[in-house]
Structure 1
Amino acid sequence: MKRLFLAAACALAFAAPAVQVEAWGNTGHRLIGMAAVRALPEDLPAFLRSPEAAAEIGELSREPDRWKGGGQPHDRERDTAHFVDMDDEGRIMNDKGMSIDALPRLKSEYDAALQSAGIDVDDAGYLPYAIMDAWQQLVRDLAYVRVLTAQANREIDPGKKAWYLADLRRREALTLRDLGVLSHYIGDGSQPHHTSIHYNGWGDYPNPEGFTNSRQTHGLFEGAFTGRVASLQAVEAGMTAPSLESFDLKRRTVAYLKTTLGTVVPFYRLEKAGGFGEVGGQPDPRGAEFTLARLSAGASELRDLTVLAWRASADVSIGWPAVKVAEVEAGTVDPWLSMIGED
């Protein structure tokens, strides 16, 4: 709950949206989404790889921040999806919380375990589950894209063909929207403050290196500073080579968040050294390098997870009665009743 009060306080304290506590602000989220889409390989569907799709994902990547303020229970079920507060050892909140490596299968089990340890689940956040849920939804979307595309291409009945094509357009729009949601949470996961108990200043913890406790730290970094140093070309230039082997969703999500947690202390050391200030009237290049590395990490992860979702979508079943995507693509099953619905 303390994070939610903090976000409201920062919004009041700073009139400019760039310094509100929303991971990466608008600039960073847009760039992560756009860079990832522009880097997708040619074996993914064309509707995902167009310049229009990149621009659309850039805008939709901001969407979970734009959901805020809907009231209860809407906000409580969404606001805590943007972060997971780990201590310096990778445990949720403190030494009573579970290690991020030991995440339960379900968010409800996670909530129960934290509550039994005396930890407020609203304080802890559930970003890893938001990422995993969004990825699984993308797999479902892409599975429908596969089936609808395959059957529309071979259907000879004019009425059915028209329905398949119309439903494909609907599914493509839903896929872009859901990819934007995944982009947002991946972007949150690349921002150091969204993985740490030290989310806005070091806080009331042992502080032997004398790190800042300024409540402006988080917002000014991800908003105003990022807005000055980030560009699409720079984010793309920093993206890493694809990593697509031996995929396990939970292990991949945990490893990604732990990598970001490892940048928290380097951030505070750089902040203490003035790295997020100016040199000769320009943003300090040390801070710019750090910021771009984090944005590029988010774009790289989103690119990879999108490719992995496309691959996974070939091996699932969808619709009711359920049909196997692979069988529809092979032309051995007619999916009509499974797609349109059998009452």
Structure 2
Amino acid sequence: MNLSPRRARGLAAAIAMAITLAAGPALGWGHRGHAVIDRTAVESLPADGPVFLRNYIGLIEDSATLPDDWRDDATPFSKMEEDPNHGWFQEQFAFLKPIPRSRFEFILALEKEQQRLAAAHSPEAVRTNVRWTGTLPYALVEVYGHLVTGFRSYRERQTHGEDTAHIETACAMYVAWMGHYVGDGAQPLHVTIHHNGWQGPDPKDYTRDPKIHSRMESGFVDAINLTDQDLLRRVPAVNPLDGDVFDAVLAYLSKSGDSVEKVYQLDKRGAWTDPKDTEARALIYQRTAAGATMLRDLVYRAWRESALPRTPHVPGPTDSANPAYNPETGSAPADPSPSLR
């Protein structure tokens, strides 16, 4: 078959897109990266935090990549629900400001934009949907809420002299669950459309190889034998995160995105296959320490929030009397986090 140069380029682009679509959103750090982030976070909790979690470090480490198992093709309902929770491809929803304080409002906004783009015959319509934008911050703050509730139950059982072993285990699982999303958010390739190779115009000739993701986060991390000792000295003193949790999470993800090009620059000179490369090591230490710090701070914040009196918003988020209630979603966006002061 003889193709003109223009048609050949178009066919090559279509093939590249098909390969990327088939690959799907990438997994997060390998088990070592996630486990080290979680261990470091728990180890660096201050004395007035939920230090009982240190008794469950083994469980938390073992469960660090459990949310990736929920993305198995053999369990399609689980996979469809879970896949978007591991990414936040910010370029895909640059049109959306501010980011809604509701998973359902976010999905609804994407649907309306997708319909607009499709009506204009824009190729962008194909990826303007929840699977190709991600829902990572929503998954993270949703599990954060579970952890606050778990800690509150722990406190109540302690007050009444009841056994706390089972609720302690539940809290440890919530930490591992939330920790996975925090860890994914620390990986720059989880917050960009360039998660599995460079997409679109490529004037700097970055690789389009989807294996860049695993070269960095699994191959290199395993090769340097990353441990908690590498991170503990890089984790600063606890930040109480007195402001809004959702805003803090969005800022954290945006900061992670600042390192996307650095990942590709290092790959271009083969750094991710050289465990002695000091610049590549420095980036891994920086990003995993950032993940451990954020997880530690969120756990500490959840612990302190669990000590506050329960003051639910009245009317609640699913009450149609709520001034912010949206009949299209059946709910109102979440209120800002309560102050710890």
- Measured after TM superposition, the shift of residue 241 of structure 1 is 2.9
> Take 1:253 and 1:208, find their aligned partners in 2: how far apart are those partners?
31
Which position in structure 1 is the counterpart of 2:135? 126
1:268 aligned to which of 264, 271, 275: 264
User: 2:23 corresponds to which letter in structure 1?
Assistant: L
Q: 1:138 to 1:40 in 2, by over 3 A?
A: same
Q: Out of 64-73 and 75-84, give the one that drifted further.
A: 64-73
The amino acid across from 2:135 in the alignment is Y
Q: 1 CA distance for matches of 2:298 and 2:212?
A: 30
Residue matched to 2:151: 142
Q: Aligned to 2:96, which of 92, 95, 98?
A: 98
The answer to whether the aligner puts 1:212 opposite 2:207 as a matched pair is yes
Q: Are 2:66 and 1:71 equivalent residues in the alignment?
A: no
Q: 1:111 maps to what in 2?
A: 107
How far off its partner does 1:169 sit? 1.8
The match for 1:30 among 23, 32, 35 is 35
Q: Per-residue deviation at 1:68?
A: 2.4
Q: Summarize the Cα distance change of 1:293–1:32 in structure 2 as closer, same or farther, 3 Å threshold.
A: same
Q: Deviations over 1:217-252 (max 9, x none)?
A: 111111111111212210222223322243211110
Following superposition, the deviation at residue 7 of structure 1 comes to 4.9
Asked if the contact 2:45/2:296 (under 8 Å) is kept, the reply is: yes
> What does 1:1-343 correspond to in 2, within 5 Å?
5-7=22-24, 21-50=26-55, 53-69=56-72, 70-87=74-91, 93=92, 95=94, 97-99=95-97, 102-118=98-114, 119-152=128-161, 164-165=162-163, 168-203=164-199, 205-229=200-224, 230-278=226-274, 282-317=275-310
Alpha-carbon distance in 2 for matches of 1:4, 1:71: 19
From the superposition, tell whether residues 43 and 246 of structure 1 become closer, same or farther in structure 2 (CA, over 3 Å).
closer
* 8 Å CA contact 2:45, 2:51 repeated in 1: no
- Are residues 107 and 292 of structure 1, via their aligned partners in 2, closer, same or farther at CA, if it must alter by over 3 Å? same
1:131 maps to a residue whose letter is: L
Taking the aligned partners of 1:135 and 1:47, their CA distance within structure 2 comes to: 18
Mark the CA change 1:2 to 1:254 in structure 2 (over 3 Å): closer, same or farther.
farther
Report SS of the residue matched to 2:41.
helix
2:14 counterpart residue number: none
One-letter code aligned to 2:139: A
**CA shift at 1:34, angstroms?**
0.5
Q: What displacement does 1:5 show? A: 3.0
**Cα distance, 1:274 vs structure 2:** 2.8
| 2-structure distance, mates of 1:2, 1:80 | 19
Distance 1:68 1:7 in 2: 11
Aligned-pair distance for 1:2? 8.3
Q: Distance in 1 between matches of 2:33 and 2:241?
A: 27
How many angstroms does 1:49 deviate by? 2.7
**TM-score, structure 1 length as denominator?**
0.77
Q: Secondary structure of the residue that 2:282 maps to in structure 1?
A: helix
Unaligned 5+ segments in structure 1 are 9-20, 88-92, 153-163, 319-343
Contact 2:206 2:265 in 1 (8 A): yes
Q: Distance in 2 between matches of 1:184 and 1:7?
A: 18
Q: Say whether the 8 Å CA contact 1:143–1:316 is kept in structure 2.
A: no
AA in 2 matched with 1:98 = L
AA in 2 matched with 1:303:
R
Give the letter aligned to residue 250 of structure 2: V
Identity of aligned residues (%): 29
Distance 2:309 2:261 in 1: 41
Unaligned runs of 5+ in 2: 1-17, 115-127, 312-341
| 1:16 corresponds to | none
Deviation at 1:94, TM superposition (A): 5.1
- The secondary structure found in structure 2 opposite 1:224 is helix
User: Using a 3 Å threshold, how does the CA distance of structure 1 residues 3 and 104 change in structure 2: closer, same or farther?
Assistant: farther
Cα distance, 1:45 vs structure 2: 3.4
Check the 8 A contact 1:25/1:222 in 2, yes or no. Answer: yes
Give, in angstroms, the shift of residue 273 of structure 1.
3.0
2-structure distance, mates of 1:86, 1:57? 29
- Separation of aligned partners in 2, 1:206 and 1:241: 41
How far apart are the structure 2 equivalents of 1:179 and 1:34? 11
